[in-house]
C-alpha cells in the first residue's frame, strides 16, 4: 500500500513538472508532503534520480511562479512630473458671464486729417525792386537788399554793408548774409547751405532746386555766393573769379530754371540760368535760403 502511494505521488510530480506555471502551487504542496512524510523512502528507491529531477523542476517552477506573478502585477501609475500640477478631481465650475451693461451708442469722433500743403506752382517770379551795387565791393549788400525788397523790406546798401561786415575785400560768406536776413525778417526763416568741393553733386543740385522753390513760394528771395564763371540760358557769360553775390528772385519748370537779379551790371541785371549751372557756380561757396 505504501509503495503504491509512493508511485502515485512520483507520477503526479512528473506530470506537474510539465504543467503550466499557475499549477506550481499544487506541485509545491505535494513536494513538501513527500519531503516530510516519505522523503527517506523515495531516496532509497529506483526512482531517486527522477525524484531529484522532479525536486529541481519544482524549484524552477517556484522561480517561474514568482516571475509570473511579478509579470502579472499591475503597472504602477506614473507619478506627476516635477513642476506639473496634479489634475483636480473636481471640475471647476465656470464663472458666470457678466451681463453686458446697456450703453448709449455714441458716435465715434471723426478724425480730422491735417490739411495737405498745396503743391508749389510750376513757375513763380517775385515782385522785387532792383538796385545795382553802388561800389565794386558792395555785391553782398546789394544782393541782400534786392532779396529783401521782394519781401517788402527797404534797406540801403550802406546800412546792410555795416551789418554784413563788408570791407574793400567784399563780404566774407553766406553765413553773413543769412545772419543779416534773419535779423531783418520776422521768424528767422533763412538757413545757410554750404557747397564744398570744386563742383556740385547731384544731391546738392536737387537740394538747391528744392530750397529755391520753397523760398520763392514763401515770398523770399535767395542770396547765392558764387565764384568762377557760368553761362545763362541766352548764352550770356558771367565771370567772377574772386567771388560774387547774386539774388534769385524766381523759378520756372518746377525749379529747374532760376531767375537771377545780378547787381554787377545795371544794363544786364536779370537773366535765367539752369539750377544745375547755378549749383556749380556756387560750388566752394554757399547760399542763404
Q: How confident is the model over 143-172, as pLDDT tens digits?
A: 999 999 999 999 999 999 999 999 999 999
Distance CA 243, CA 245 (A): 7
- Cα 235 to Cα 109, 162, 220, 238, 274, distances in angstroms: 61, 35, 27, 10, 12
Cell 491735417, located at residue:
114
Who's near 23: CB < 8 A, 6+ residues apart?
Answer: 16
Question: In the predicted model, is pLDDT for residue 48 greater than 90?
Answer: no
Q: What is the structure's pLDDT at 12?
A: 59
Reply yes or no on whether the pLDDT at 59 is more than 50.
no
Give residue limits of the domains in the chain.
Answer: 2-69, 124-288
245-287 pLDDT tens trace: 999 999 999 999 999 999 999 999 999 999 999 999 999 999 9
> Was domain 124-288 assigned CATH 3.90.70.30?
yes
Amino acid at each position: 500500500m505504501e509503495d503504491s502511494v509512493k508511485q502515485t505521488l512520483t507520477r503526479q510530480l512528473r506530470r506537474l513538472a510539465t504543467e503550466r506555471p499557475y499549477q506550481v502551487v499544487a506541485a509545491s504542496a505535494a513536494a513538501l508532503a513527500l519531503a516530510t512524510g516519505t522523503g527517506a523512502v523515495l531516496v532509497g528507491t529506483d526512482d531517486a534520480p527522477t525524484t531529484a529531477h522532479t525536486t529541481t523542476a519544482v524549484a524552477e517552477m517556484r522561480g517561474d511562479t514568482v516571475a509570473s506573478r511579478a509579470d502579472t502585477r499591475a503597472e504602477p501609475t506614473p507619478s506627476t512630473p516635477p513642476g506639473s500640477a496634479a489634475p483636480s478631481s473636481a471640475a471647476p465650475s465656470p464663472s458666470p458671464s457678466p451681463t453686458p451693461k446697456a450703453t448709449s451708442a455714441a458716435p465715434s469722433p471723426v478724425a480730422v486729417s491735417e490739411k495737405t500743403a498745396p503743391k508749389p506752382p510750376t513757375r513763380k517770379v517775385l515782385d522785387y525792386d532792383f538796385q545795382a551795387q553802388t561800389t565794386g565791393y558792395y555785391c553782398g549788400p546789394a544782393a541782400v537788399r534786392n532779396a529783401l525788397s521782394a519781401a517788402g523790406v527797404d534797406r540801403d546798401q550802406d546800412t546792410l554793408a555795416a551789418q554784413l561786415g563788408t570791407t574793400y575785400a567784399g563780404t566774407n560768406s553766406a553765413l553773413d548774409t543769412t545772419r543779416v536776413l534773419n535779423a531783418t525778417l520776422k521768424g528767422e526763416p533763412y538757413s545757410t547751405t554750404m557747397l564744398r568741393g570744386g563742383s556740385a553733386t547731384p544731391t546738392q543740385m536737387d537740394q538747391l532746386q528744392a530750397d529755391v522753390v520753397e523760398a520763392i513760394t514763401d515770398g523770399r528771395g535767395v542770396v547765392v555766393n558764387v565764384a568762377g564763371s557760368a553761362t545763362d540760358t541766352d548764352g550770356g557769360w558771367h565771370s567772377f573769379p574772386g567771388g560774387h553775390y547774386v539774388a534769385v528772385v524766381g523759378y520756372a519748370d518746377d525749379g529747374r530754371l532760376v531767375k537771377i537779379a545780378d547787381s554787377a551790371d545795371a544794363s544786364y541785371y536779370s537773366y535765367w540760368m539752369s539750377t544745375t549751372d547755378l549749383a556749380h557756380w556756387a560750388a566752394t561757396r554757399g547760399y542763404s535760403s
